[in-house]
Structure 1
Amino acid sequence: MRVAVIGIGKMGAGIAHNLVKAGHTVTVWNRSRDKAAAIEGARVANSVAEAARDAEVALTMLSDDTALAAALNDGLFDALPRGAIHVSSSTISASLSDRIADDHAARGQDYVAAPVFGRPDVAAAAQLTVIAAGPAAVIDRAQPVFDAIGRRTWRVGDRPSQANIVKLCGNYLIVSSVQSLGEAVALARGADVDTSVLLELLTENLFSGRVHTTYGGAIVEKRYRPAGFGLDLALKDVRLVLAAADAADVPMPVASLLHDAALAALHRSPPESDVAALAEFAAKNAGLPD
């Protein structure tokens, strides 16, 4: 397939590389051209419009609502051919996803929301978990793209924004888990408990999932930088969760606490801090040494 990848950051680079590896004809665009030029086997476009013009599928992997809206208005809406598919893999608000779906439909273009779970190393290994929502026939057409970048595609609904809600639910639970892990490790440190033993006990007996093993290891070893899932993006996602909860009239009191914790940690953490830095802030609150 002819695939345009718009946004060659830490996640987009792995996605573009694996699409090339799978035999797709790939065109890439990024605001920083050097990152796009680093994708061997892909053609580098000079603009979003140029990237999208001949695409059967245009996959966007951008940081937030503002970046995605800019790409759409800078040429993706106007240049994407009728009948082509926009696959949005960005973590964005459900409200923006709904507006994008309507705007694409008005132009005769198809739209699938397909955010992913997985850090940059998972993207590089083509092992992402893809959460897809949209018309079944459109997802079927986009499936070769998902097969090239992920280990499994979960279809969660026929309205694209349903995939965005699922992604936000997952990221909310990741941030919740990291905050709780940080507090638990701070308590253990304050009581002179060996935190590596604590983590081994917890992950072997109670919490064996990837979130606890991956972030637990980072917290115990105090590996807060560089970011895999940035603290700034975690805060952005918690804000999107609160907005979605407000729109659905669903109370989420823990999300409000997480917002304040993440905001405070972001103000006190160095740039490029991972979400695991929530634990660093919890330790500082407890008066523990670095």
Structure 2
Amino acid sequence: MKVGFIGLGHMGAAMAGNLLQAGHDMTVYNRTPGKDEDLRHKGAHAASQASDACQDKVVFTMLADDHAVESVVYGDGGILANLPKGAVHISASTISVALSERLTADHAEAGQQFIAAPVFGRPNVASAGQLFVIAAGAPDAIEIALPLFDAIGQKTFVVSETPKAANLVKLSGNFLIASVFESLGEALALVGKGGIDKHQYLDILTSTLFGAPVYKTYGALVADETFEPAGFAAPLGYKDIRLVLSVAEDLRVPLPLASLLRDRFLTLFAHGGDKLDWSAIGGLAAKDAGTGSSKAGASK
């Protein structure tokens, strides 16, 4: 299949690479020049502007936030003005529910289709083609996209025919992940100050009560206070918590923990942690207890 891919950060480049390896004819574009070099060497076509990557049946976007998505969708050189009628825009970005609603309506008005397909998984998981895809959109559009999802992920969950549902699932999932950072960080600070080895404690947790990948993957980062290099930068995590709070306000659902997490991110940033991994909020508890290093309080 001929596929355009816009957004070649750590996640996007890995996803595009797996699509290319699966035999799809790829045209790739990134707003920052030079990030397409590796993919070009592997056979991808390089687009000089976003419009060149949306001339065929499908275009993916994997971008940082609402503003970045809007910048490549709207305007004369954007996806909306250049994607053929009947073609599909697949947004793998973690964006607001409100923008997802807007994109659904605007693509429909232009005779195009829109799928929201955010993913769970860090860059190493993306490189291995083992992401979990959360997809929502019209059934005929989903049918077109499924072979592409198979190339980037280990499982696809189709949650609704309404795209915004996938974005809500993704945002709520990221809220839960951030909640793990905070609760695990507090528990590790407690047992660590009580003289218990944090790594043994983490082994007990992940071997008994909490065997989920989020505890195993991120638990080691929090226990070791290894927050650089960032697999998912803290400002992006903060963005997601703000988006969760926004949709919760619209739905009139109180989320006290999300409000706490917003403040924890602000604490991290106030101490210079902007360049750290988002799991660095899990290191704040040890710092508050007087036992943590400076890693969760300031970037190097």
Query: Shorter-chain TM-score category?
Result: over 0.9
Is residue 2:219 matched to residue 1:221? Answer: no
User: In the alignment, what sits opposite 1:200?
Assistant: 203
> Matched residues in 2 for 1:77 and 1:68: separation?
11
User: In the alignment, what sits opposite 1:42?
Assistant: 44
Query: 1:271, CA displacement in angstroms?
Result: 4.2
> Superposition pairs for residues 39-78 of structure 1, below 5 Å?
39=39, 40-52=42-54, 54-73=55-74, 74-78=77-81
Aligned residues between the structures: 289
Residue pair 1:185, 1:220 contacting (<8 A) in 2 also? yes
Is residue 2:248 matched to residue 1:245? Answer: yes
For residue 179 of structure 1, give the secondary structure of its aligned residue in structure 2.
Answer: helix
Gaps of 5+ in 1: none
Query: 1:289, CA displacement in angstroms?
Result: 4.3
For residue 278 of structure 2, give the secondary structure of its aligned residue in structure 1.
Answer: coil
For residue 64 of structure 2, give the secondary structure of its aligned residue in structure 1.
Answer: coil
> Matched residues in 2 for 1:127 and 1:237: separation?
22
> Matched residues in 2 for 1:185 and 1:266: separation?
22
- TM-score (normalizing by structure 2): 0.94
Is residue 2:142 matched to residue 1:139? Answer: yes
> Matched residues in 2 for 1:6 and 1:78: separation?
15
- Kindly report structure 1 stretches of 4+ aligned residues shifted beyond 4 Å: none
RMSD: 1.0
> Matched residues in 1 for 2:235 and 2:193: separation?
28
Query: 1:230, CA displacement in angstroms?
Result: 1.6
> Matched residues in 2 for 1:269 and 1:56: separation?
44
For residue 151 of structure 1, give the secondary structure of its aligned residue in structure 2.
Answer: strand
> Matched residues in 1 for 2:241 and 2:207: separation?
29
For residue 100 of structure 1, give the secondary structure of its aligned residue in structure 2.
Answer: helix
Residue pair 1:219, 1:276 contacting (<8 A) in 2 also? yes
> Superposition pairs for residues 255-274 of structure 1, below 5 Å?
255-274=258-277
Indicate which of 100, 117, 125 corresponds to 1:97.
100
> Matched residues in 1 for 2:227 and 2:290: separation?
18
> Superposition pairs for residues 86-235 of structure 1, below 5 Å?
86-235=89-238
Residue identity opposite 1:71 in structure 2: V
- TM-score (normalizing by structure 1): 0.97
User: In the alignment, what sits opposite 2:297?
Assistant: none
Deviates most, 121-130 or 181-190: 181-190
Query: 1:233, CA displacement in angstroms?
Result: 0.9
Gaps of 5+ in 2: 294-300
Residue identity opposite 2:78 in structure 1: G
Is residue 2:27 matched to residue 1:24? Answer: no
Residue pair 1:269, 1:277 contacting (<8 A) in 2 also? no
Residue pair 2:234, 2:274 contacting (<8 A) in 1 also? no
Deviations 1:129-171 (A, max 9, x none): 0000011111011111111111111000110000000001110
For residue 36 of structure 2, give the secondary structure of its aligned residue in structure 1.
Answer: helix
Residue pair 2:268, 2:274 contacting (<8 A) in 1 also? no
> Matched residues in 2 for 1:269 and 1:44: separation?
37
Query: 1:38, CA displacement in angstroms?
Result: 1.9
> Matched residues in 1 for 2:21 and 2:289: separation?
48
For residue 129 of structure 2, give the secondary structure of its aligned residue in structure 1.
Answer: coil
> Matched residues in 2 for 1:214 and 1:109: separation?
39
